[in-house]
Structure 1
Amino acid sequence: LTTELMMVIAQENLKAHIEKEKEKEALKDLINPLQVWIASASAPACYHLIPILTSGEVFGMHTEISITLFDNKRAEERLEALVTETRELASPVLRSVSICTKVEEAFRQAHVVIVLDDSTDQEVHSLEDCLRSRAPLCRLYGYLLENNAHDSVRVIVGGKTFVNLKTVLLMRYAPSIAHNIIAVALGVEGEAKALLARKLKTTPAYIKDVIIWGNISGNNYVDLRKTRVYKYESAIWGPPQYSHPVLNLIFDSEWLKKESVAILRNLTATGKQFRGILAAHSISTTMKYWYHGSPPGEIVSLGVLSEGQFGIPEGIVFSMPVKFENGTWVVLTDLKDIEINEKIMTRMTSDLIQEKLVALGEVIDFQPYKSGNLLDVMFYWAAIKTVLKHLL
């Protein structure tokens, strides 16, 4: 045989081997479905999340899943109704759906755990009580994740109350999988895109690279310095990949600096827009990126544990720019011209640090950062009222 012919045969053999291995993996997935657990499954977001998970959009049409709805005993009747509706979807990727109300059995062999907003049985009278009430549940979840879940379990925390805090507490109490616990920031990102789209009279999907810094459900900073809009009708029109910097199109500096900031802070503080649909979409999209990668070249916001990037203090969960690839995420530390003003950074980090210290009992009273800005004070008190409303 000639060398050239041998090379052709070798390539064909390699191709056949790769295809055979893929078939084996597909068969293995059919035998062992992906175990997906949803904690606090009686939350409104779960109702909208299940159809997305069972559509095949998140994990792929060749991956079967088994869903377990985990909540307390009082929610059992509601969960039973949810199980019935889920089965009636007749999804080709859904192997089974079941309920778990026994704490000791939670997260058994879980590959994916989605943590939604939780309720509390405790009577709370102050913000400090709210913060401290998060620790016992996160400690319990951490223990269960360490002892019951699969070694490579992926945990995604979504919701509208104390998202960063719950994520960092789960990392503390489940240290062996801390690198696989993340917080969803796409909801805030979506709110910002919708607001910009209304201002520019375009579609939110055409707006890319909005960066959310800081506390996902609290003090955060919506950074538009890298934000671009595609397919925008203007004097300059280009191919589909052509885009305009958003800041070059909005000439109303008063709107940018004050009105838009106030609107977004109000949405974060009240949680009015972050209900079932947006929460479910944000969680499922983040999970899809985690498994299949984010769109090439796009910036995604994600709550991850700080290791000192961008001058952020270590040991807190902070939303920052990332990209997803190869089953993990990479913080985009090489982005240029995104330095954060020291005052803005202090405003975001001080509250996150204090939330953690109060929750762990290391500090008794929460002292919010005060910049002297009336807007900051109003935002802080609105956030407290919303939290108490949800937990009382």
Structure 2
Amino acid sequence: SSCRMSLKQPPLRVCVTGAAGQIAYSLLPHICLGRTFGPNRKIILHLMDIERAQTALGGVKFELQDCGFDLLVDVITTSDPNVAFKDVDVCVFLGAFPRGPGMERKDLLAKNAGIFKTQGKILDSIASRDVKVVVVGNPANTNAWVTQQCAPSIPPQNFTALTRLDANRAQNQIAMRVGVQPSAVSNATIWGNHSSTQYPDVSFARVNGFKDVYEAVGDKTWLQGDYIKTVQQRGAAIIAARKLSSAMSAAKAISDHLHDWLVGSGGKIVSMAVPSDGSYGVEKGLIYSFPVVCEAGAYQIVQGVPLSDFSKKLMQATEKELSEERAMTKQILFSGSKL
């Protein structure tokens, strides 16, 4: 039976960077309870954070032990990527350099490009040859691109960035507006960058499987105006309210992203930022959020979504931002050296 099979599989080695932070604190229970990789998949955690966070990380390890998770085989804590990335099957990059007051976008890109270049090279030399990567630390799409460029021996399609949080927000805003459960809303899609230029698209979304969202909501002005702004700016609204960034919802979205990618989305359309293959005219190679369907470790970009001029305009605006980020990063990273 498949149940016996998964118990015979070797434990999955899962690395989480920034592991002493608040997103990791919410994410680790999802992983250890079997919600992320399936109810029978044993886990070895590789938890990495900077040197000064090691004492706090030790406390996280104590708590993981005190939870008594049957699926958790071992916990490795370290500040050394050479230990953290060794033989890992999955790597969740939560750690990134945060944007400080008065910091230019270019400075943020430069700081993170350096971090992800180093991590990508180490990942390339010691991780599993089929390691699945999801980058959450911002600017997530471009950080994922840098990591991919610096890890040429790992399949390029294995590098993704998180836009599932945006998609979950997009889905739930519709559910609340119409008065249905979140799962009754399908195909709400995020196109582009995980930034305020992202395009939450409900043009082919459905309520209860059949009803067009425009028809169910009955307010085109809201759907093409405040709805989009609410989803785009939800992260900022949470920071304003909590004085901290989204953690509980980010952790749930990471778990959703990894579950659907590795276990399968069951035919459901979900959003992931993945390397563009040129679909919908998006520049090849950009890490861009598309509607995808996943099956056991592979994803397929959904083809044939009809695009209005309204959609095309917003999709091109977010693509332009990603192209600019990539150009800036290329300049910072690879000036004088060809990858």
With over 3 angstroms needed to count, the CA separation of the structure-2 counterparts of 1:336 and 1:106, relative to structure 1, is: closer
With over 3 angstroms needed to count, the CA separation of the structure-2 counterparts of 1:22 and 1:196, relative to structure 1, is: closer
In structure 1, the residue matched to 2:306 is 337
Does structure 1 residue 167 correspond to structure 2 residue 178?
no
In structure 2, the residue matched to 1:105 is 83
Deviations 1:59-115 (A, max 9, x none): 223321110110111001110110011111111111011201123323011111111
Tell me if the contact between 1:106 and 1:144 (Cα under 8 Å) persists in the aligned partners: no
In structure 1, the residue matched to 2:159 is 181
What does 1:309-324 correspond to in 2, within 5 Å? Answer: 309-324=279-294
Residue 118 of structure 1: CA displacement?
A: 1.9
In structure 2, the residue matched to 1:374 is none
In structure 2, the residue matched to 1:47 is 25
Partner amino acid, structure 2, of 1:254: T
- 5+ residue gaps, structure 1, are 1-18, 231-241, 364-392
In 2, Cα distance between equivalents of 1:360 and 1:132: 10
In structure 2, the residue matched to 1:10 is none
In structure 2, the residue matched to 1:328 is 298
Residue 270 of structure 1: CA displacement?
A: 5.2
In 1, Cα distance between equivalents of 2:128 and 2:283: 31
In 1, Cα distance between equivalents of 2:64 and 2:228: 39
SS of equivalent to 1:360:
helix
- Which of residues 186, 201, 215 is equivalent to 1:223? 201
In structure 2, the residue matched to 1:275 is 246
Q: CA RMSD, aligned part only?
A: 2.4
In structure 2, the residue matched to 1:92 is 70
With over 3 angstroms needed to count, the CA separation of the structure-2 counterparts of 1:112 and 1:71, relative to structure 1, is: same
Tell me if the contact between 2:17 and 2:49 (Cα under 8 Å) persists in the aligned partners: yes
Tell me if the contact between 2:44 and 2:74 (Cα under 8 Å) persists in the aligned partners: yes
Partner amino acid, structure 2, of 1:301: S
Q: Please report the TM-score for the alignment, with normalisation by the length of structure 1.
A: 0.78
In 2, Cα distance between equivalents of 1:121 and 1:137: 14
In 1, Cα distance between equivalents of 2:237 and 2:125: 36
Identity %: 25
SS of equivalent to 1:287:
helix
- 5+ residue gaps, structure 2, are 334-339
What does 1:355-374 correspond to in 2, within 5 Å? Answer: 355-361=325-331
In 2, Cα distance between equivalents of 1:310 and 1:127: 27
In structure 2, the residue matched to 1:286 is 257
In 2, Cα distance between equivalents of 1:174 and 1:323: 25
In 2, Cα distance between equivalents of 1:176 and 1:310: 27
SS of equivalent to 2:211:
strand
Structure with higher Rg: it is: 1
Residue 124 of structure 1: CA displacement?
A: 7.3
Report the count of equivalent residues: 327
Tell me if the contact between 2:92 and 2:136 (Cα under 8 Å) persists in the aligned partners: yes
Tell me if the contact between 2:19 and 2:94 (Cα under 8 Å) persists in the aligned partners: yes
Partner amino acid, structure 2, of 1:337: P
Residue 243 of structure 1: CA displacement?
A: 3.3
In 1, Cα distance between equivalents of 2:30 and 2:141: 24
- Which of residues 251, 255, 278 is equivalent to 2:218? 251
Does structure 1 residue 131 correspond to structure 2 residue 102?
no
In 2, Cα distance between equivalents of 1:301 and 1:24: 29
Tell me if the contact between 1:106 and 1:148 (Cα under 8 Å) persists in the aligned partners: no
